[in-house]
Amino acid sequence: SEIKKIAVIAGDGIGPEVVAEAEKVLKRTEELFGYRFETEHALFGGVAIDEKGTPLPEETLEICKKSDAVLLGAVGGPKWDSNSADLRPETGLLGIRKALGLFSNLRPAVVFDCLKDASTLKPEVLEGTDLMVVRELTGGIYFGEKFRRDTEFGQEAVDTCAYNETEIERIVRQAFEIAQKRRKKLASVDKANVLESSRLWREVVIRIAPDYPDVELEHVLVDNCAMQLLRRPSSFDVIVTENMFGDILSDEAAMLTGSIGMLSSASMGEGSFGLYEPVHGSAPDIAGQNVANPIATILSLALMFRLTFGYADAADAIEAAVAEVLDAGHRTGDIAVDKSQAISTTAMGELIVAAIKK
């Protein structure tokens, strides 16, 4: 088969640790299924600031642009936290999403039956939870004008939240289409009772909804949604929302699955190109200890196979291997009920690799 190019940007903290395990899975899938991949590693985030003086070197962006997909670990850490915005790892992350046109961030939260005891919520509440947060990724308050000014009350800091109809329509249409392939339910989450950008958001959703008559639509205010996610998680199918609401709600949804270490994501534009990364960050508190859960990154790789390459057999095999290893009771510390039984990042990676079957 034709060789697929994958840019690998491991980043900071636990980024390189979890990406290394996903790369083992990649290699095993290559052997078993006969697909061919060429990986190219590139500097990104804090390590790129240290070595190149910028979180997103031009060369890294070029490598991503000539690839079919990007596998990303995580960026950030205390070392760079007091830097100015242009020298922050997180600025590189926003920059790469924008530069690659990745306006749609898909964050599936699926509760594995055997992990119901790992969540802080009651098992009967979690039963059957399988939802997808569709987060707008290149607009809103993250990308609006920001500045500081002096006032008579001291310095004032301003962040603006702007959305235009085109930005809203393209993400909402994607969400409707995803819902059509799932359980045909869409919750559009906004703060239309207060924010003008949310009122436009809701107007656009209402305008295009008739194009998807088979999808049951509900509008949910974001504060209520945060609450309903814990009260009735299994009633949600697809949730579509703006950038910052999606950031917050997806971390909340992570706890339904037991740990943020379980949540994968795909960042997409209009085509098949995608950037795949765990939802979690660089976890400086556990970095370098070989204890991080690599499953979010491994499941992100499965999403890459499914969404960018159309290798559904390999994606299914990876997801089945993860389920098998969890069913057998293997746990990293974040999902272990008995922490003394927790296994390492590398042990988890190797168990999953060994469980992949054609």
Contact set with ligand IPM (CB under 6 A): 76, 90, 93-94, 247, 279, 281
**Distance between CA atoms of residues 203 and 51, nearest Å:** 47
Residue 280 interaction partner, one of ligand NAD, ligand IPM, Mn ion, none, beta carbon < 5-8 Å per kind: ligand NAD
CA 8 centroid distance within chain: 16
Please report whether residue 77 would count as binding ligand NAD according to CB under 6 A: yes
Return the ∠ at Cα 305 (arms to 301 and 310), rounded to 5°: 165
Q: Could you say which of 16, 139, 246, 281 contacts ligand NAD (CB under 6 A)?
A: 281
130 catalytic residue (yes or no): no
> Among 334, 342, 348, 353, which residue sits at the site for ligand NAD (rule: CB under 6 A)?
334
Residues numbered 247 to 266 that lie near ligand NAD (CB under 6 A) are 260-261
Q: What are phi and psi of 114, to 5 degrees?
A: -75, -5
Marked catalytic residue, from 190, 191, 212, 237:
191
Q: Which is the catalytic residue, given 4, 35, 142, 212?
A: 142
User: Which residue number, 246 or 261, has a Cβ lying nearer to ligand NAD?
Assistant: 261
Stretch that binds ligand NAD, among 151-159, 207-215, 283-291, 310-318 (CB under 6 A): 283-291
Confirm or deny that 81 is annotated as ligand binding.
yes
Q: Can you tell me which residue has the tokens 């008739």?
A: 210
Give the β-pairing of 216-221 and 266-268.
unpaired
Q: Is 338 annotated as a binding residue?
A: no
Residues in the chain: 358
| Angle in degrees, CA 105, 181, 211, rounded to 5 | 90
Tell whether 213 is in a known binding site: no
Q: Which is nearer to ligand IPM, 140 or 349 (CB)?
A: 140
Q: Which stretch binds Mn ion (CB under 5 A): 36-44, 67-75, 87-95, 239-247?
A: 239-247
CA-to-CA separations, 102 to 25, 83, 96, 136, 274, in angstroms, rounded: 25, 26, 8, 9, 7
Q: Which of 50, 117, 211, 223 is catalytic?
A: 223
Write down the least CB distance from residue 281 to ligand IPM, Å. 6
Alpha-helix runs per DSSP H in the chain: 15-33, 46-52, 58-65, 89-99, 123-126, 165-180, 196-208, 222-231, 243-257, 295-304, 312-327, 345-355
Choosing from 247, 277, 319, 334, the residue that interacts with Mn ion (CB under 5 A) is 247
**Catalytic site includes residue 223:** yes
Instruction: Give the bridge partners for 218, in sequence order.
Output: 187
Q: Which is nearer to ligand IPM, 75 or 215 (CB)?
A: 75
Q: Are 49 and 16 in contact (CB under 8 A)?
A: no
Is 142 assigned a catalytic role?
yes
Is 285 annotated to bind ligand? yes
Active site residues: 142, 191, 223, 247, 251
Q: Can you say which residues are annotated as belonging to the binding site for NAD(+)?
A: 77-90, 281-293
